[in-house]
Chains A and B, each alone.
Chain A
């Protein structure tokens, strides 16, 4: 085994890696290449339900498998913000659950399927794809900057002088330097400076981690996968729209229910999302705070042909049955027939109607205005 064992390069052992770097600092060309880590060092995360499992997992499974295998949902690791956005997207596409259930799912997925950790079975690519040690990625940067960046670019996506390595078949098939090492030592051309590359085993390993990290940067769960500056609108124009054509003041007031809204939400993108899609607001809770009480819900009034109208919170409805929760808190189900009248009141109807008419400029202006309400 090499002095510098790649088995130490799993994220869980990142601290040990730093110490190992010091030990291996004198590693020279000619040493045996680093061994590929045995699969047992990083077993694919299991996603089966086990006795004593986190109860939030059962909730997540129940809601997610309506449309996807659960393994597919967690195949992409994400930041908390990305999980919040993902769950909101699913709500927007019709996922059914209570606010508390969605909140617990976000918590669970963020904790269990954050960015670091083992490969999940069922995720993109081969099951034995290399893991990235963030410390190795960091340690590689000076080396990359010194010898590689001039031709391959800071992100390894190539320049006019050297090819794109993120798309390189050799890099994609590499396992902890298994392909990169031999190539650098025997086939890589001289550097522009005339220098011949003679990387140590440690340096090869660092390059391997760096390049896999740049590949991962392009995937959907990338830590770089976050919005840029969306505050590009005109706040004054936004205020005019808010108080005028937008009709927002029918329900909202800058000094009333929206006073301090920018501070409460704390992020311009979340503010934009709440404004456009308020019904999806299960994420974006700062610090995982619970949902505010009194959140408006869809109401429904059912009028049977032979009885009084019954009004309550809508529980579920399809072409055949409607279930509501009345004042007594008990669910009540009606079979939908031709002579049963059903009237639904969506508290967000005005926001939904806006989607058909509002322009991107008006959206940006309104967000710029709302951002002033701190």
Chain B
């Protein structure tokens, strides 16, 4: 038995090691499958030509009514799939969908909007609970090993992020933008659970970096910047890429004039000590709740004739960026949908906001809307096509200031109404231009997966279909009517020589397979 356990550990470790560069073919061991955030699988059994023969293998409906929808990415290791909803983790057989165990957290509060999934290291799972805890479970039976506090419920924080394991560090983010509290990312020891370091997104002391971008220390200390999304990681540079949320107060901004660093930014940190190496602010002085927590996707390639180690983000504000991920220098800045809130890009590649499009008492018509040009559903990058894919929306709404005073708190305004056209955008990373766009009839955004079979999997929003498209042309080639919107991205793995595609929609996990 001990030998078997050791073998299992070695297998998982091997999977984790290979996951640094690409997703293993027999597992999906972390939120994005690997550290890069590309969500690109090298599996080739399912292709754009044969995907029309994909058929249902099994489905698993959450055993707790009302716990869903599933908004996390399921993980699969050693033939078992692990999925979550707020305060719940399930283990199901990856071949049959049979439930193996279920764990529930008796929560004391926090928003029940969603949970993005678990992290796995060896024999243990790690999950955030909405009442501000990081909990470690034993992978074989779901028994709780330890729990550590992540945040303060009284300050209206909550926890929803899928932890990312880097070495022996469990990297955790925090959620919540109701009150004016600072965002941060922190690391816990994977064995003991003890906190190792915490990096605050906004300055907490008068001499902290970024303080010059705030009118006062009081404004900075309460300036928000939640870390809603799992980080990506470059093991060669030993840098994690944290994407940060909107500043606080969210919409009314009279008491936070300035760029509000390091909110709505991409930030490179050393995972061993949490020290910042560089930053790039995707939305300087964000006043539209856009944040910039979209995945920082890592890939290597050629740009302007030079080999580059790059990072790309399709940000919620409608802007697409390609950066040198060693330095943070912008290489490409563009619009991936039409926007009307910026005057262009500065020399540093960051957008130049137009103050006239900040929220106004009488209303200001802005695109994107609060939901954004994209949102949390993860994008995908295919090194095969060289295209960066993102679920997008051309969306308008009117932004109002409700608290016109000099010292607003919390939100102080919002947007209202709107019209939106949802679409899938395929962006050429070398130019930032949209190579092709596929419009959806329904609303809503879904996560993405691409494969070396030249297939792109996603959902068509409220039309309720799980769809496969030709990744090169954008033509839909297969669909399954799952009746509710696909939420997070699909995963893929090969077991017993069969390639599976697994995706969550509503309260059900669907597994499709290409039979021999």
- Of A86-94, A101-109, A198-206, the one contacting chain B is A86-94
Contact A355 B363 (CB under 8 A): no
- B364 in contact with A360 (CB, 8 Å): yes
Q: B363's contact among A69, A125, A356, A363, by CB below 8 Å, is which? A: A363
Please pick, from A65, A68, A225, A352, the residue contacting B414 in the complex, using a CB distance under 8 A: A225
Residues of A within 8 A of B467 (CB): 319
Report whether A320 and B479 are in contact in the complex, using a CB–CB cutoff of 8 Å: yes
Q: Is there an interface contact between A72 and B112, defined as CB atoms closer than 8 Å?
A: yes
Beyond the given A69-B67, A85-B417, A272-B398, could you list 20 further A-B residue pairs with CB under 8 A, ordered by the A residue number?
Answer: A69-B86, A92-B395, A93-B418, A96-B462, A122-B130, A125-B156, A126-B109, A129-B154, A158-B407, A167-B180, A218-B411, A219-B411, A222-B410, A231-B362, A279-B419, A280-B418, A316-B441, A316-B463, A318-B440, A355-B419
Interface string of A104-145 (1 = CB under 8 A from B): 000000000000000001111111110000000000000000
| CB atoms of B401 and A228 under 8 A apart | yes
B346-362 contacts to A (CB < 8 Å): 356, 360-362
Most buried by B among A47, A69, A75, A279: A69
Q: Contact check: which of A85, A227, A318 meets B463 at CB < 8 Å?
A: A318
Docked pose: A127 CA to B371 CA in angstroms: 27
Contact A228 B361 (CB under 8 A): yes
Asked if A128 and B484 sit within 8 Å, CB to CB, the answer is: no
How many Å lie between the Cα of A316 and that of B465 in the bound state?
A: 13
* Nearest B residue to A220, CB-CB: B411
A172 to B181, CA, bound (A): 12
Q: Are B154 and A125 in contact (CB under 8 A)?
A: yes
Q: Are B417 and A173 in contact, with the CB atoms below 8 A?
A: no
Whether a CB of chain A sits under 8 angstroms from the CB of B230 is no
B444 touches A318 (CB 8 A): no
Measured CA separation A272–B400 after assembly (Å): 12
Query: By DSSP majority rule, is chain B's interface helix, strand, loop, or mixed?
Result: loop
Hey, which chain A residues are within 8 Å of B415, CB to CB?
89
The residues of A that contact B484 with a CB separation of less than 8 Å are 65-66
Q: Which residues of A contact B444 (CB under 8 A)?
A: 66-67, 93-94
Q: Would B178 and A220 count as touching, CB distance under 8 A?
A: yes
| Bound Cα distance from A56 to B370, whole angstroms | 27
Given A96-B442, A124-B176, A126-B108, A319:B485 Cβ within 8 A: no
Contact B443 A94 (CB under 8 A): yes
Question: Can you list the 10 inter-chain pairs with the closest CB atoms, starting with the nearest?
Answer: A94-B443, A218-B410, A92-B418, A122-B112, A126-B109, A318-B463, A218-B409, A230-B362, A277-B417, A126-B153
Please tell me if B318 contacts chain A, counting CB pairs below 8 Å: no
CB distance from A68 to the nearest CB of B (A): 7
Q: Could you tell me the distance between the alpha carbons of A96 and B111 in the complex, rounded to whole angstroms?
A: 24
Cross-chain contact B402 with A226 (CB below 8 angstroms)? yes
Complex partner residue of A355 from B111, B249, B362, B396, CB under 8 angstroms: B396
Q: Smallest CB-CB separation from A230: which chain B residue? A: B362
Cα-based distance from A220 to B66 in the complex (angstroms): 24
- Given known pairs A219-B410, A225-B411, the reply for A123 and B398 (CB within 8 Å) is no
- A229: interface (CB < 8 Å): yes
Instruction: Specify which chain B residues have a CB less than 8 angstroms from the CB of A233 in the assembled complex.
Output: 362
Known A67-B485, A320-B476, A355-B367; contact A126-B154, beta-carbon cutoff 8 A: yes
Among B158, B396, B418, chain A packs the most CB atoms within 10 A around the CB of B418
In this assembly, does A317 line the interface, its C-beta being within 8 Å of a C-beta of chain B?
yes
Cα separation A128 to B154 with both chains bound (whole Å) = 10
Residues A318 and B402 in contact, CB atoms below 8 Å apart: no
Distance between Cα atoms of A355 and B476 in the complex (Å): 29
A93-B443 in contact given A123-B111, A169-B154, A172-B154 (Cβ < 8 Å): yes
Q: Knowing A126-B153, A164-B218, say if A92 contacts B420 (CB, 8 Å).
A: yes
Asked if A218 contacts B362 (CB within 8 A), the reply is: no
- By a CB distance below 8 angstroms, the chain A residues around B362 are 228-233, 360, 364
A157 within 8 Å of B (CB atoms)? yes
Question: Which residues of chain B are within 8 angstroms of A226 by Cβ–Cβ distance?
Answer: 402
Given contacts A93-B443, A219-B178, contact A228 B409 (CB under 8 A): no
* CA of A229 to CA of B484, assembled, Å: 40
> A94, B461: Cβ atoms under 8 Å?
yes
- CB contacts under 8 Å to A, within B140-165, are 152-156, 158
Chain B, 58-90, contact with A by CB distance < 8 Å: what is the 0/1 string? 000000011111000000000000000010000
Q: Chain A contacts of B408 at CB under 8 A? A: 218
Contact of A94 among B107, B412, B462 (CB under 8 A): B462
Contact of B52 with A by CB under 8 A? no
Q: Which of B402, B418, B506 contacts A89 (CB 8 A)?
A: B418
Please name all residues of chain B whose beta carbon is closer than 8 Å to the beta carbon of A355 when the two chains form the complex. Answer: 365, 367, 396, 419
Is there a chain A Cβ closer than 8 Å to B113's Cβ?
Answer: yes
Give A142 to B479 CA distance when docked, in angstroms. Answer: 65
Cβ < 8 Å to A, chain B residues 452-466: 460-465
Q: Does A301 contact B (CB under 8 A)?
A: no
Report the bound CA distance from A66 to B507 in whole Å.
10
Of chain B, the residue at the smallest CB distance from A157 is B407
Given A225-B402, A352-B419: A95 in contact with B178 (beta carbons within 8 A): no
Interface string of A155-181 (1 = CB under 8 A from B): 001100000101101001100000000
Q: Does B41 sit within 8 A of A, measured CB to CB?
A: no
Chain A CB within 8 A of B256 CB: no
Q: Is the CB of A88 within 8 A of B416?
A: yes
B485→A273 contact, CB < 8 A:
no
Shortest beta-carbon distance from B409 to chain A in Å:
4
Q: Is the CB of B179 closer than 8 A to any CB of chain A?
A: yes
For residue B274, give the distance in angstroms from its CB to the closest CB of chain A: 23
A228 and B112 form a contact (CB under 8 A):
no
- How distant is the Cα of A121 from the Cα of B131 in the complex, in angstroms? 12
B369 within 8 A of A: yes
A14 part of interface (Cβ distance < 8 Å): no
The answer to whether A276 has its CB under 8 Å from any CB of chain B is yes
With A124-B156, A277-B417, A360-B364 as contacts: A69 and B66 at CB distance below 8 Å: yes
B167 within 8 Å of A by Cβ? no
User: Which B residues are in CB contact (< 8 Å) with A71?
Assistant: 66, 112
Q: With A94-B461, A125-B156, A218-B410 given, is the CB distance from A89 to B397 under 8 Å?
A: yes
Interface: A18 (CB within 8 A): no
Cβ contacts under 8 Å, B69 to chain A:
65, 67-69
Which residues of the partner chain A approach B361 to less than 8 Å between Cβ atoms?
Answer: 227-230, 232
Asked if B403 is at the interface of the complex by the 8 Å CB criterion, the answer is yes
Beta-carbon nearest neighbor of B357 in chain A: A360
B338 within 8 A of A: yes
What is the CA–CA distance of A71 and B479 in the complex, to the nearest angstrom? 30
Measured between C-beta atoms, what is the minimum distance from A57 to chain B in Å?
Answer: 12
A211-238 interface (Cβ within 8 A of B): 215, 218-220, 222, 224-233
Q: A65-B69, A363-B365 are in contact. Are A319 and B460 (CB under 8 A)?
A: yes
Find the B residue at minimum CB distance from A72. B113
Question: Least Cβ distance of A259 to chain B in Å?
Answer: 24
Q: Are B109 and A69 in contact (CB under 8 A)?
A: no
Q: Quick check: is A294 within 8 A (CB to CB) of the other chain? A: no
Q: Name the A residues within 8 Å of B108 (CB-CB).
A: 126-128
Q: Is B422 an interface residue (CB 8 A)?
A: yes
Q: Are A224 and B403 neighbours in the complex by a CB distance under 8 Å?
A: yes
Most buried by B among A65, A67, A72, A88: A67
CA A71 – CA B412 in complex, angstroms?
Answer: 24
Contact present for B179 and A218 (CB under 8 Å): yes
Give residues of chain B (166-189) contacting chain A, Cβ–Cβ below 8 Å: 176, 178-180
Question: Is B404 in contact with chain A by the CB < 8 A criterion?
Answer: yes
Instruction: Indicate if the CB atoms of B338 and A356 lie closer than 8 Å.
Output: yes
